[in-house]
Structure 1
Amino acid sequence: MIAFVEGIVEEVAIDQVVLNVNGIGYRVFVSGTTAYSMQAGSRERLHTHQHVREDGIVLFGFKTRQERDLFVRLLNVSGIGPKGALAVVGSAPIADVVAAIQEERIDFLKKLPGIGQKTAQRMILELKDKLDDLRLPGFDGISEHAQAGFARGDSELFDALLALGYNEKEARGVVRALAKEIEDGIPLESLIKQALQLLARK
């Protein structure tokens, strides 16, 4: 089992990076938020989960151990696969997701990418009592930024990208990748600039 990979970033795409570790290139799948935070030429460490499937072995990478551990536990929820778990981990702060599960905030969970009513209920049922070690000290609930970001929705950025000629699939993917920035209330103009940078990498 590969616990982490540390090396020089050789390539960055919207959902993956290649790390050069002593001359060996490791392709690691990451969330859009993580990909955006990394630059070619920088030295990075990713905590990894090694996922075995029929067509090969895949590495999923995360900036923190907490992100990786939540990802692994989400895989145990019926209806959530690796891509879905990665989208959830990359769409909101870990503390907010953990709090939503423990506090049975179904409305919050349903706004995470790929999570519907039934899946949100399964997340609560299967994980509510298994996440105490991921709850950060001093954290008292879902952040105001997160609540405000989800409440207002992501329509402004989505609509702006459509107006610029991108299709719905491309727009949704970038909105998910910038979920944290949207929650933090970054101005629309800055969000559009970041979105265009992500789209240019595809």
Structure 2
Amino acid sequence: MLRFLRGEIASIGSDCLTLDVSGMGFEITCTRSALKGHKVGDLIKIPVFLHVSDGGLSLYGFCDELERDLFFALRRVKGVGNRLALSMLCSLPPQRLIRAISSGATDELIAAPGVGKRMAERICFELKGGLGGFSSALSEPLTEGENAIEKSVIEALKVLGFSDREVFFALERTKGKEAISDEARLLQAALRELQDSQLVVSNGTGQETPD
């Protein structure tokens, strides 16, 4: 099985990059964290998954082995294909995603486009007892200060009428761009993200046909 690729970044898109490996260009659909901080010309080693289907070959890339392993765990859930698993990893960082599944926090899982309430409940039900291999990620503490600030901002955004999906999606996109420890600045940044993204929330079940 293809485990990783090492090469030079030839181009970067919004959700993918092209990696030059000994003169061969591999287009890799990546999580947001796998793309973060990289630029054209960087030499990188990226964990990947090669998916083979009737439609052809697809490459998926991750920032580390934890993301890759979590991707495979999500794909074990009925109705979760490659695109939906990647969407979840792009919406929530692995540590938070694992915590949400373990605690049954479906309101966080529906932050991912394509994940509805029933799908979130299914993911929690099918994976809740099967995340023992991710115990090290669960043991990494979140600081009380970060939790308190986030909770205040979440409450403020909900008062303004934003849905759970919009709130969590905006916060994760904001935190993915910069670290903000001030409550007012985090709220302003999240509001800008919501305005700029023109987020459209689906009211469906969010089920996806596996790739």
Q: Judge same fold: TM > 0.5, yes or no.
A: yes
Residue equivalent to 1:43: 43
Residue equivalent to 2:135: 135
Q: Give the residue type in structure 1 aligned to 2:38.
A: M
| 2:181 equivalent to 1:178 | no
Segments of 4+ in structure 1 off by > 3 A? 140-143, 145-154, 174-177, 182-193
Determine helix, strand or coil for the equivalent of 1:19: strand
Distance, in Å, in 1 between the alignment partners of 2:149 and 2:49 is: 27
Q: Which runs of 5+ in 1 are unaligned?
A: 157-173, 197-202
Distance, in Å, in 2 between the alignment partners of 1:70 and 1:190 is: 27
Distance, in Å, in 2 between the alignment partners of 1:2 and 1:80 is: 22
Q: Which runs of 5+ in 2 are unaligned?
A: 161-168, 197-211
Residue equivalent to 1:170: none
Q: 1:147 to 1:191 in 2, by over 3 A?
A: closer
Q: 1:182 to 1:133 in 2, by over 3 A?
A: same
Residue equivalent to 2:80: 80
Distance, in Å, in 2 between the alignment partners of 1:60 and 1:145 is: 35
Residue equivalent to 1:59: 59
Q: CA deviation at 1:185?
A: 3.4
Q: 1:152 to 1:74 in 2, by over 3 A?
A: farther
Residue equivalent to 1:99: 99
Q: 1:177 to 1:98 in 2, by over 3 A?
A: closer
Determine helix, strand or coil for the equivalent of 2:124: helix
Residue equivalent to 1:166: none
2:147 is aligned, of 144, 149, 160, to 144
Distance, in Å, in 2 between the alignment partners of 1:135 and 1:152 is: 32
1:7–1:45: 8 Å Cα contact kept in structure 2?
Answer: yes
State the TM-score, normalized to the length of structure 1: 0.73
Q: 1:123 to 1:88 in 2, by over 3 A?
A: same
Q: 1:153 to 1:26 in 2, by over 3 A?
A: farther
State the TM-score, normalized to the length of structure 2: 0.70
1:31–1:86: 8 Å Cα contact kept in structure 2?
Answer: yes
Determine helix, strand or coil for the equivalent of 2:47: strand
2:174–2:190: 8 Å Cα contact kept in structure 1?
Answer: no
Residue equivalent to 1:112: 112
Distance, in Å, in 1 between the alignment partners of 2:190 and 2:121 is: 35
